[in-house]
Amino acid sequence: MAKNRYQFCFGPWNISEGGDPYGPPTRPAQSFDWKLAQLKKLGYDAMMFHDDDAVPDIDNKSDAQIRKEARELKKQLDGEGIAAEMVAPRLWFSPMTIDGAYTSNDPKCRKYAIERSLRCIDVARAMETDLIVLWLAREGSYLRESKNARKCVDYLVEAIDRMLAHDKSVRIAIEPKPNEPMDVAYIPTIGHALAIANLTADPKRVGALIESAHAILAGLDPADEIDFACAFGKLWSLHLNDQNGLKFDQDKPFASSNLRGAFNQVRALERNGYGKKGEYVCFDVHPFRPTKVEHWLKHLDNSRRTFLHLVDKARTFDEAKAKVLIADRNYQDLDQMVLEHLMGV
Ligand code: XUL
Ligand code: MN
């Protein structure tokens, strides 16, 4: 397998219990400590957090209490040799975010969302990461006439500006997703994320996180999204996984549905030197619902293994031969060359 220059990461939610909108969990919940203990054993280096993964019940705690608990968690992580990759405000669970968070029609709810985000930054600083991820779950509409999308752009910029002003050292990575839970989201692609970044008070500190499944849901090729974000120096985190076409967000193991698509994502990461500035490769993957308890870390182990095999495949791809075929516009043989390389024949 490839000599590994990559560092790997997952979140506590990636060891999930199998519940879906149609049925209950199929595995019992595991404790946070148990999940943390599995991380190193699986060859991972860091954990990503929602603010309330780090400080449970965050809405009902004082600022001092939040900082204290986050510092204690940081000590626990240090003890295990695990870094905190990022912290993300969970802006989709509270009764205050039913009609949107930053883009709610209700000013009290918008205020809640911003204050919660500032607390999330305090958690991140106590855990010594400067990276805040925004998956903007409820910023969009179920009914277009219910919201003013022009105003919502201003609300989004205002919220990000408040976060940038709260702590001059944080960086914000927007994780676009075109739909689910919303019918249509306001920041569906990397292009939208970078355009919004440009409207903020400090565009240098606003970048992006690409999730493979989200790009596929937007009808885009995740590899091209990676190249696009990297062209701007804005790919600050990554959620690799897979998605079988346009359906619910599946968070399948990396390459599970489309090996060639995964190969092209890895090639894009390699040519852009992703990871060299300390960026992590995170797998936002979930076990299949029927998975038994004794197999429920396999999706994390397998995704990482597949990734490393694909790094080998990217590094052993015969670029010189491909160049000759491209110059000759012989895309038929280029196609077959890729297939045979992936099949190992
Ligand atoms: C949702 C999703 C989230 C974010 C973190 O689709 O991907 O898990 O990655 O909030
Ligand atoms: Mn994600």
Contact of 285 with 14, CB cutoff 8 Å: yes
Confidence label for 322 from pLDDT (cuts 50, 70 and 90): very high
**Which residue's alpha carbon is at the smallest distance from atom 5 of ligand 1?**
135
Residue 2 has pLDDT above 60, yes or no: no
Active-site choice (51, 52, 53, 284): 53
Residue type, 4: N
What does the pLDDT look like over 187-200, one tens digit per residue? 999 999 999 999 99
Residue 77 has pLDDT above 70, yes or no: yes
Check residue 332 and give its pLDDT: 98
Which of 86, 83, 106 has its CA nearest to residue 96?
106
What does the pLDDT look like over 132-150, one tens digit per residue? 999 999 999 999 999 999 9
State how far the Cα of 251 lies from the Cα of 272, in Å rounded to an integer.
24
Examine residue 2 and state whether it is found in any structural domain, yes or no. Answer: no
Give the angle subtended at the CA of 7 by the CAs of 137 and 342, to the nearest 5°.
90
Residue 53 Cα distances to 11, 67, 69, 256, angstroms = 9, 14, 11, 27
List the CATH number of the domain containing 251. 3.20.20.150
For ligand 1, whether the C-beta of 249 sits within 6 Å is: yes
HSE-up (13 A, CA, CB side) for residue 200: 27
Residue 3 has pLDDT above 80, yes or no: no
Confidence label for 5 from pLDDT (cuts 50, 70 and 90): confident
What does the pLDDT look like over 232-274, one tens digit per residue? 999 999 999 999 999 999 999 999 999 999 999 999 999 999 9
Q: For the chain, what's the residue count? A: 345
Check residue 186 and give its pLDDT: 98
CA 248 to ligand 2 center in whole angstroms: 14
Rounded to two decimals, the pTM is: 0.97
The boundaries of the domain holding residue 94 are 7-319
Residue 82 has pLDDT above 70, yes or no: yes
Strand, coil or helix: what is 303?
Answer: helix
Pairing of strands 235-240, 206-211: parallel
Examine residue 344 and state whether it is found in any structural domain, yes or no. Answer: no
Examine residue 339 and state whether it is found in any structural domain, yes or no. Answer: no
Backbone phi, then psi, for 328, in 5-degree steps?
-90, 5
Handedness of CA 187, 188, 192, 197 (dihedral sign): positive
* Residue 202 CB contacts under 8 Å (≥ 6 apart), including other chains: 164
State how far the Cα of 48 lies from the Cα of 21, in Å rounded to an integer.
25
Residue 308 has pLDDT above 90, yes or no: yes
Handedness of CA 92, 16, 132, 66 (dihedral sign): positive
For ligand 1, whether the C-beta of 286 sits within 6 Å is: no
Examine residue 331 and state whether it is found in any structural domain, yes or no. Answer: no
Check residue 4 and give its pLDDT: 64
Examine residue 335 and state whether it is found in any structural domain, yes or no. Answer: no
CA 13 to ligand 1 center in whole angstroms: 9
Active-site choice (50, 192, 214, 239): 50
Residue 300 has pLDDT above 60, yes or no: yes
Split into its structural domains, the chain has a count of: 1
Q: Tokens 């791809």: give the residue.
A: 317
Ligand 1 nearest-atom number relative to CA 214: 6
Which of 304, 285, 282 has its CA nearest to residue 15?
285
The structure tokens listed for 113 are 């969302």
Examine residue 334 and state whether it is found in any structural domain, yes or no. Answer: no
What does the pLDDT look like over 18-34, one tens digit per residue? 999 999 999 999 999 99
CA 336 to ligand 1 center in whole angstroms: 35
